[in-house]
Structure 1
Amino acid sequence: MAKALGVGGIFFKSKDPAALMKWYEDTLGVPAMGEFAPFLPATMPPGGCTVFSAFKDSTDYFAPSQQSFMVNLVVDDLDGALRQVTQAGATLAGEVQSFDYGRFGWFLDPEGNKVELWEPSDTPPV
């Protein structure tokens, strides 16, 4: 049986793709290299992983965004990343939350997409 090996990309619509990708590059260091941005971190922090999950269509977890998706980015410094995105014009969405497997914070990017930032602890989620 063929098997998926991991998440190969995150794709979303944008009013101005070049400007939004430039914003992510300037704000969080996500490389903006033309139409597609191969994003291969040198290492995943201890306790980090990629999560692929479907939510009930009635969830409010993506609110206040009206999108049917949310991107999660692993970061090495949650507080610093949240400062950077707000300084670059993003709106914070909720309070930072801590769990055994790490700390989370959320923001709305310049086009209203909700993004979750995760600073993993050394214990992966199970």
Structure 2
Amino acid sequence: MPVIGWGGFFFRARDPEGLAAWYREMLGVGGGCGKDEQGQSSDWFWYPEPGPVVFAPFKADSDYFAADKTCMLNFRVRDLDGLLEQLNAAGIKIQTKAEWDTPQTGRFARIHDPEGNPIELWEPPQG
């Protein structure tokens, strides 16, 4: 009996309502974002577009993200440059490195939410 997909991602926050609003406004993530197959939205659900999802435990001493964090969110995006322009205009610090990007894996950028949680933005390769 296999798992068929993500059912949710739950994490603690000092200001859950404020952080939920930030994710909706800055990234279009969370309840009320996207539409289901009938074109409806819901205050409770986020309807992401279908596509690949990476599930990968990392070594405890990995330097891929901050050692004091147990996880890093990774969001798949369609127009990384456009999103980075919007985030920059909103005053959000963005980190990019040429070595992160490859024709095989796509393009990447990193930001942090207002509570310091790391977020990787991923534009998969085209085609």
CA–CA distance in 1 between the matches of 2:91 and 2:30? 19
Instruction: Give the secondary structure class of the aligned counterpart of 1:92.
Output: coil
- Matches of 2:24 and 2:80, distance apart in 1: 17
Is residue 2:79 matched to residue 1:77?
Answer: yes
Does the CA-based 8 Å contact 1:72-1:118 persist in structure 2?
yes
The 3-state SS of whatever aligns with 2:57 is coil
Tell me the secondary structure at the aligned position of residue 101 of structure 2.
Answer: strand
Shift of 1:83: 2.5
Q: TM-score when scaled to structure 1?
A: 0.77
- Show structure 1 runs of 5+ residues with no match: none
Determine the structure 1 residue equivalent to 2:110.
106
Structure 1 residues 50, 17: closer, same or farther in 2, change over 3 A? same
State the superposition RMSD in angstroms. 2.1
- Distance in 2 separating the partners of 1:106 and 1:20: 17
**Which residue type is aligned with residue 5 of structure 1?**
I
Q: Is the 8 A contact 1:93 1:108 kept in 2?
A: no
Structure with a larger share of its residues in strand: 1
Which TM-score applies when normalising by structure 2? 0.77
| Alignment: residue pair count | 115
What SS is found at the alignment partner of 1:53?
coil
**Percent of aligned positions with the same letter in both sequences?**
41
Measured after TM superposition, the shift of residue 51 of structure 1 is 1.1
Of 35, 39, 44, the residue aligned with 2:46 is 39
Match of 1:50 among 50, 53, 77: 53
Distance in 1 separating the partners of 2:63 and 2:44 = 29
